[in-house]
A and B are shown apart, each in its own frame.
Chain A
């Protein structure tokens, strides 16, 4: 059964870099059929797509976050990671990782990790 698990610090100081890892079990991250994505949800708000990465390292990011987001993949550990720099309080959110399925006409996330709350505060 495919499972994803986010890990990383729950508290980050303003202006610093948020770093999270998503560990995938039950499937190979090197699958040529899927991307792997990050989505976040600020408290009481909706879902915001951040970006996605292919096992080759190819990425595509949200235009609103593009300059601050870096994603990497480590196929040897079956993990992918997110780095978001220059964080502010507005980046406080639950961060989810998920497998991204794609067809010619749509994208869908399934399954999702349980999510990890990251708070930006001094």
Chain B
């Protein structure tokens, strides 16, 4: 596809379970970002990849959250021992080179509900 693709679009899980959210960026985009958006809030930065490496993971809230991008394309956000407070829409974005003035292209998000 031409845009950023995120799967699943909706995920309902129980407290304590493990969850993986997948992001397929625009082909050729080297920079990839994960954000979390709670109801009524703006997107909150989680982590940024340049190629395969995490260039900035300062937004990850705790060690239950982890993200990988092993081949510099698809990324997976992993959440262990989910809590009700993790419920949110998780957004992925990519940009061509990751510079400070570059446009971020966002996917439609993965809505996570933890019961």
Question: Are A and B subunits of one complex?
Answer: no
**Which A residues fall within an 8 A CB radius of B?**
none
- B residues sitting closer than 8 Å to A (CB atoms) are none
